[in-house]
Amino acid sequence: MPYKVTVCGAAGGIGQPLSLLLKLNTDITDLALYDIVNVPGVAADLSHINTPAKVTAFLPDNHGLKNALADAQLVIIPAGVPRKPGMTRDDLFKINAGIIRDLATAAATYCPNAFMLIISNPVNSTVPIVAEVFKSKGVYNPKRIFGVTTLDVVRSSRFVSDIKNWIDPVAVRIPIVGGHSGPTIVPLLSQIEPAQDFTREEAEALTKRIQYGGDEVVQAKNGAGSATLSMAHAGARFAQAVIAATLRGEKGVVEPTFVALEADSANAAALQASVDGLDHFALPVELGPHGVERIHPIGSINAFEKELLAIAIQDLKGNIQKGVDFVAASK
Ligand SMILES: NC(=O)c1ccc[n+]([C@@H]2O[C@H](COP(=O)([O-])OP(=O)(O)OC[C@H]3O[C@@H](n4cnc5c(N)ncnc54)[C@H](O)[C@@H]3O)[C@@H](O)[C@H]2O)c1
Ligand SMILES: O=C(O)C[C@H](O)C(=O)O
């Protein structure tokens, strides 16, 4: 069955290794790579790999964005600028908000039914931007728009196995809820599978490391960008989860992701009430043939996690509204 995936920002630090991992995915038949620079070389290189996906390159000229997006079933967006030391993800809003708005406008026009996977920061604002653009074009379907928070999940599995070294980092699962920026990343260590006890000191240290894992990489790269290789892995993992549920019809595929809570209409009111009325939040999401199938509630959490959640909710209010206001002001 044909399955077209489009990567916007494909020549970047994330875009290149992500495109490589997607080229290795044999469910994908057509891999369209779009960027404003350098993408023909990336596509020529990847096109020599002997897997089924046909790789094509698109630059902005000659209706490149339109042709890259046309008939795409899945669009992944890692376009935009990354952080340098001393910056917050919100500092990227000034440049990335406009990039995401314009890419979302094109996607709403040329592939309105595609699953949209948003990597570009600040995710807490860029996802609401995509939602508002799709609404303004009359093609909004909250089941199909995802903020990719998988890197937080990947990191949490790895970091927990650093302190409990008998734990297999592949098997361990920690729900990460909230959003994707330091204080809004809330790991629910009390819900770790397989079950595990942490002292308060362990839980605090581990939580801090998960919340600020991105900063570790930004500092180590020392001005040359932020996480790219681990993000490519995380993005490919989330893309495969979406493909497994939507194309292959696999059941029980659950990944934490930042979504509009109205995507689960039966539970939206209760979900929103649990996060002080926020309309977007990262929670473990069960994926189905149409995208979001069911959003898992926060569940039972301890006093420490309640404190973290309260802080995350306050930050998220401003981040989400900033995205909404940006699109309103662009009209
Ligand atoms: N969600 C996450 O967990 C996560 C993790 C890591 C990085 N990020 C974010 O991903 C983004 C990209 O990071 P990177 O390290 O790949 O940056 P990068 O600068 O290496 O690459 C970005 C690419 O986007 C391209 N680009 C810029 N404007 C574009 C446009 N209008 N259309 C298409 N392409 C465009 C650039 O040419 C470049 O190739 C950043 O915003 C970063 O903060 C998110
Ligand atoms: O830290 C960053 O700015 C990039 C990304 O959001 C990450 O978590 O690594």
Residues 202-249 pLDDT 10s: 999 999 999 999 999 999 999 999 999 999 999 999 999 999 999 999
Check pLDDT > 90 for residue 331.
no
- pTM over the 0.90 mark: yes
Co-location of 138 and 245 in the same domain: no
CA of 316 to the centre of ligand 1 (A): 22
Q: What is the pLDDT of residues 257-295, one digit of tens each?
A: 999 999 999 999 999 999 999 999 999 999 999 999 999
- Enter the DSSP assignment of 2: -
- How many residues are given for the chain? 331
ipTM of the complex as predicted: 0.99
Structure tokens at 132: 């508002």
226 lines ligand 2 (CB under 6 A): yes
* Residue 137 and residue 29 in one domain: yes
Residue ending a domain, choose from 122, 148, 174: 148
Write out pLDDT tens, residues 170-202: 999 999 999 999 999 999 999 999 999 999 999
Look at residue 322 and give its three-state secondary structure: helix
Residue that finishes a domain, picked among 124, 148, 172? 148
One domain for residues 54 and 184: no
CATH number at residue 167: 3.90.110.10
Ligand 2 geometric centre to CA of 101 (Å): 20
For residues 7 and 15, give the distance between their C-alpha atoms in angstroms, rounded to a whole number: 7
Is 121's pLDDT higher than 90? yes
130, 222: one domain: no
| Distance, CA of 112 to CA of 139 (rounded, Å) | 6
Q: Are residues 313 and 182 in the same domain?
A: yes
Nearest atom in ligand 2 to the alpha carbon of residue 152 is 8
Ligand 1 binding pocket mutation candidate from 95, 153, 226, 257 (most atoms within 8 A of CB): 226
Question: Residue 242 is encoded by which pair of tokens?
Answer: 């979406």
Total tally of structural domains belonging to the chain: 2
Q: Do the bridges between strand 54-58 and strand 115-118 make them parallel or antiparallel, or are there none, so unpaired?
A: unpaired
- DSSP reduced 3-state for 266: coil
User: Domain limits at 228?
Assistant: 149-331
Q: Are residues 204 and 229 in the same domain?
A: yes
Whether residue 184 sits in one domain with residue 116: no
Largest CA distance in the chain: 59
CATH number for the domain including 12? 3.40.50.720
Say whether both 205 and 295 belong to one domain: yes
Q: Work out whether strand 30-34 and strand 4-8 pair parallel, antiparallel, or are unpaired.
A: parallel
The answer to whether the peptide bond before residue 82 is cis (omega within 30 degrees of 0) is no
Q: How many CB atoms lie within 10 A of CB 20?
A: 15
Cα–ligand 2 centroid distance for 232 (angstroms): 12
